[in-house]
Amino acid sequence: MSEIQPAQEHSLITQIFVSSDEPRLRAGWRLLVQTAALLLLGGCLSIPLVIVLFFLDPTLVLSITELKPEYMLLGVIAEAFAITLSVFLAVRFLDKRSIESLGLRLSTQTLFDILAGIGITFLQMGFIYIAMSALGWLTFEGFAWEFDPARIVLKNVLLFFVIFIFVGWNEELLSRGYHLQTIASGINLFWGVIISSAVFGLVHLGNPHATWISAVGIFFAGAYLAYAYIRTRQL
């Protein structure tokens, strides 16, 4: 009966944990460590935040559809801290890469890409609104300032603008930044897009009124956004 020699055992462990092309953990292990760090950081931040919000407003229903914009902002800031720190630490110490390698380089091209993205989104959402209105899927009841004071409308617009900047940062840094690029380095780009987009769709099942159909739609949105990264190498 043969025995595994120490050198062979060391080689087997190396093959399981260490990447074959350079001295760092394999992609799967890197994803696992980053996810564990994210959950730990998220828990350490979200539990105190929920307690604070409860004492601020005991009648508050802890649902994203019921939270005031101010509370939502606190939540996305905490989420941004957990995602950013976990990803940056993983890139620096597990991937042994620079933060800029994620697609966070600042240049004139970066500004152009941001403006192009805003313009494309404006056209897309405008087309969706027109199509849904023509099909009778929505009803226009009036402008916000017809129902609330202008100062309240302006405050909420500014708050939601900041909230969605954080939401965009969180989703792109995690999904197209770490998930896509890490999976692609371990398998290939095709499966990096497919798997990261699938995870992107699944995590949105936690949204209010989410369904499996909406998750499938978000999967395709993730693939579409992945193309933007692949095309520009910028998040």
* pLDDT tens digits, one per residue of 174-224: 999 999 999 999 999 999 999 999 999 999 998 888 899 999 999 999 999
| Backbone torsion region of residue 73, taken as left when φ is above 0, otherwise alpha when ψ lies between -120 and 50, otherwise beta | alpha
Is residue 69 within 8 Å of 159, Cβ to Cβ?
yes
Regions of the chain with pLDDT less than 70: 1-10, 58-67
pLDDT at residue number 140: 86
Q: What is the value of pTM for the model shown?
A: 0.86
The one-letter amino acid at 124: Q
DSSP, residue by residue, the chain: -----HHHHHHHHHHHHB-SSSSSB-HHHHHHHHHHHHHHHHHHHHHHHHHHHHHH-TT---STTTS-HHHHHHHHHHHHHHHHHHHHHIIIIIS---GGGGT---SHHHHHHHHHHHHHHHHHHHHHHHHHHHTT-------GGGTS-HHHHHHHHHHHHHHHHHHHHHHIIIIIIIIHHHHHHHS-HHHHHHHHHHHHHHHGGGSTT--HHHHHHHHHHHHHHHHHHHHHS--
CA dist., res. 223 & res. 198, Å (int): 9
pLDDT at residue number 24: 87
pLDDT at residue number 58: 66
Is residue 197 within 8 Å of 223, Cβ to Cβ?
yes
pLDDT at residue number 65: 53
pLDDT at residue number 8: 53
pLDDT at residue number 1: 47
CA dist., res. 202 & res. 198, Å (int): 6
Look-up of token digits 């494309």: 120
